[in-house]
Structure 1
Amino acid sequence: MNLRSSWVAETGQTREDTRLTQTGVTTMTNPVQVRSGILPGSYGGQYRLAGFWTFGSAAMSATVSEGRAVIQGEISQGVFPVTLPASEVVTFAPGNAQYGRVDLLVLRVYDKLYDGGTRTEATIEIIQGTAAQDPKAPAVPARCLPLYEVTVPAGASAGNGGIPWDRSLKDLRTPVVALGGILPVEGASLEGAYPGQYQDAGGALQRWDGGAWVSYPSALGGIVPSSASTTPASYTGQYRDSTGGQLQRWNGSAWAPAVPGPYFVDNGDFGDTASTTYTSTLGGRTTNPLALSFVAPPSKAIAVSFGCKMRSLSPDHYAYMALRLTQGATVVNDLDDDYATIAASQHMVSVSTTRRLSNLTPGATYTLTAFFRVIVNNLSLKAGFDNTFIKVDPLP
């Protein structure tokens, strides 16, 4: 039988049995194997990952700090827990006279039952790379956990300054935690092992949904806080609080205001016209026409308010202000006297109105343009308009 157990058989428990049945410090990658890595933690809690931290301590030597790790073997071999209880010094070979090279500093497990050799031990090793014009790190052997890439320049030796440690160490360490623990991500973000697994991606708590890491706010359907506003959106309809304090919604390609508007435009200049047909140009104004563009809300409906102070110079003449709705070059809602503001007075009077526009296309941009006229104009009088405005409120 292939089923393995620990502490059941009276005799015959093997090292493989023990390794295969451990359920302690492991981050699963599948139902049997775990991720090789280092246990997180640091003195004083200042750093995410302090185990096996390495620094240059001499020209060609580095000090590897204490730490604990697990190294996954072959699927039938189990996982090897290793501990370095005190720091250790490792020494690198001198550099090639002509080219630089890249060495690997690793934790390595030898198991003669699988290696075919004579060693059964765990070591800290330097796997020396090949000197080349464009050097690459050597391949990682089985049962190895890479700690650092170390660039050894051409000619580096104890007698000429050695390795420039401040720029020669590339950290490859990755953490692991107990089953069910929240993994602090260092380096590349690897795939999860099961839906519901969590990881701390350095500013965003993420959950594995079976195919991707989903940031915590989106996983709960909550609002991404402004402090995490750079977190990529996960689905259409996600909300976030922008750094400018505006509630935004992901529309599938961009963050847009969750509640667009209100939109407003006005013109405080006096203008007049003697035209008996609608015109968007008023004499005396430096800016024509009065127009307002807006984005249609998901409800497809808006409330439009517009008006001004107007006069017709005669109680027998009527001044009109009306709006035309367009989408690009297409007229969606044309001028209509029934929805215009109207006044017949020789004095300036304030007039405004509000109406609902429906059946708009959500997300489409529309434009409202103001038009003016005067009737009946048998005295060639000019209707005057001042403080004109247009306001659009999206409806829920």
Structure 2
Amino acid sequence: MNLRSSWVAETGQTREDTRLTQTGVTTLTNPVQVRSGVLPGSYDGLYRMAGFWTYGSSAMTATVSEGRAVVQGEISQGVYPVTMPTSEAVTFAPGDAQYGRIDLLVVKIYDNLYDSSNRNEAKIEIIQGVPGQTPQAPAVPPRSLPLYEVLVPAGVSAGNGGIPWSSSLKDLRTPVVALGGILPVEGPVLPGAYPGQYQDSGGALQRWDGGAWVSYPSALGGVIPNSASTTPASYTGQYRDSALGQLQRWNGSVWAPAVPGPLFNDSADFGDTASSTYTSTLAARATNPLALTFVAPPSKSVLVTFGARMKSRADHYAYMALKLTQGTTVVDDLSDEWSLQCANDTLIPVSTMRRLSGLTPGVSYTFTAYFKILANTLGIKAGFDNTFIRVDPQA
């Protein structure tokens, strides 16, 4: 029968049965197999992975530190857990007289059921490479976990300085964690085994969405932090803290300020009018009209503030009002009710604020300033200086 079990049959449980039925051991690669790798951890907590760390201890000898690991066999063979409780020294053969070579340091499982080796044990071994002008690392044998590639230069030996360890060791170790644990990424980034699996990439917590590793803020809708502000957006409406410290929202094509503004336009030119109906043109002013265009925020609301230094005469009011348009459509027309009014012989500052709602998010609108004076036959003019319009989109 193809279905295996552990601790059910009174007799006959094999080593293979035991390996195949281990559950919750390490990081999955598919429903039956796990990833070969080293269990993370260090004595002082400063490093992600200290197990099987290797360093040169003499000219041709390296020391492999203690550690725990798992080695996955073929799908029907199960996974081999291994532990090395104390460090172990390994010695490399002298270099070739002409060419360098690359040796492979591995944890190798000998299992007589599959390799006819007449051995059943785990060993730290050196798989010696072939010397060449451009040497290549040897292939990883079956049931082996690669730890390091070691470059052995031409001609090196114990008597002439040996292997330059600081430049010859290439770390191949990859970590594995218990089922459901957050995997600390070291070495190559491998695909996830199921949607909802997590890994720590070193700069961000990531979730496997079934096709890619998605950074934690993207996956859960949080604000991408400043430290990861180069992380690509995952959906329209996602937020990030930009490198300049501004909260931004992805609109589907670009990162834009989440709450744009405040937006402001003003004129320091003095201008006047004798018109008794609203006009956007003031005499003696270089630029007419005074207008401000903005994009309606998702809240559909803005605060608009406008004002000026105004004068007319004590018995004739000067008016300033705003018209809101969207293209050629008037959205909010001129009204004395929402206007500034001033009756004074000298310039005095006047301003007001108003909230407008019901706007269409993402659509451009324009506020334009208009001016007039109370109807009169005396030729009295209303004067305006330092006029301004300010729009604050509401969050």
The TM-score, its normalising length taken from structure 2, stands at 0.80
The reply to whether residue 384 of structure 1 matches residue 383 of structure 2 is yes
Give the 3 Å change call, closer, same or farther, for CA 161–266 of structure 1 in structure 2: farther
Could you tell me how far apart the structure 2 residues matched to 1:91 and 1:17 are?
Answer: 36
Task: Check whether the contact 1:34–1:72 (CA below 8 A) recurs between aligned residues.
Answer: yes
| SS in structure 1 of the partner of residue 44 of structure 2 | helix
1:309-343 per-residue CA deviation (whole Å, 9 max, x = no partner) reads 123579679675656757xxx65659965477566
Could you tell me how far apart the structure 1 residues matched to 2:180 and 2:321 are?
Answer: 68
Question: 332-341 vs 60-69, which deviates more?
Answer: 332-341
Give the 3 Å change call, closer, same or farther, for CA 31–251 of structure 1 in structure 2: same
Could you tell me how far apart the structure 2 residues matched to 1:335 and 1:51 are?
Answer: 71
Aligned to 1:112: 112
Percentage identity across aligned positions?
69
Could you tell me how far apart the structure 2 residues matched to 1:161 and 1:280 are?
Answer: 89
1:340-366 per-residue CA deviation (whole Å, 9 max, x = no partner) reads 756675432444455666776634566
**1:225-236 matches, cutoff 5 A:** 225-226=225-226, 229=229, 231-236=231-236
Could you tell me how far apart the structure 2 residues matched to 1:201 and 1:185 are?
Answer: 5
Q: Output the amino acid matched with 1:79.
A: V
Aligned to 2:129: 129
Q: Output the amino acid matched with 1:193.
A: A
| SS in structure 2 of the partner of residue 26 of structure 1 | coil
Could you tell me how far apart the structure 1 residues matched to 2:78 and 2:167 are?
Answer: 36
**1:308-387 matches, cutoff 5 A:** 308-312=308-312, 322=322, 338=335, 346-352=345-351, 362-363=361-362, 368=367, 370=369, 383-387=382-386
The TM-score, its normalising length taken from structure 1, stands at 0.80
Could you tell me how far apart the structure 1 residues matched to 2:184 and 2:342 are?
Answer: 70
Offset, 1:392 = 0.8
Offset, 1:32 = 1.2
Could you tell me how far apart the structure 2 residues matched to 1:336 and 1:293 are?
Answer: 16
Give the 3 Å change call, closer, same or farther, for CA 9–96 of structure 1 in structure 2: same
Alignment RMSD, CA only? 3.8
Give the 3 Å change call, closer, same or farther, for CA 73–264 of structure 1 in structure 2: same
Q: Output the amino acid matched with 1:384.
A: G
Aligned to 1:42: 42
Aligned to 1:205: 205
Task: Check whether the contact 1:315–1:346 (CA below 8 A) recurs between aligned residues.
Answer: no
Q: Output the amino acid matched with 2:347.
A: M
Question: 85-94 vs 349-358, which deviates more?
Answer: 349-358
Task: Check whether the contact 1:100–1:151 (CA below 8 A) recurs between aligned residues.
Answer: yes
Task: Check whether the contact 1:28–1:34 (CA below 8 A) recurs between aligned residues.
Answer: yes
Could you tell me how far apart the structure 1 residues matched to 2:253 and 2:154 are?
Answer: 49
Query: Structure 1: which 5+ residue stretches go unaligned?
Result: none
Aligned to 2:72: 72
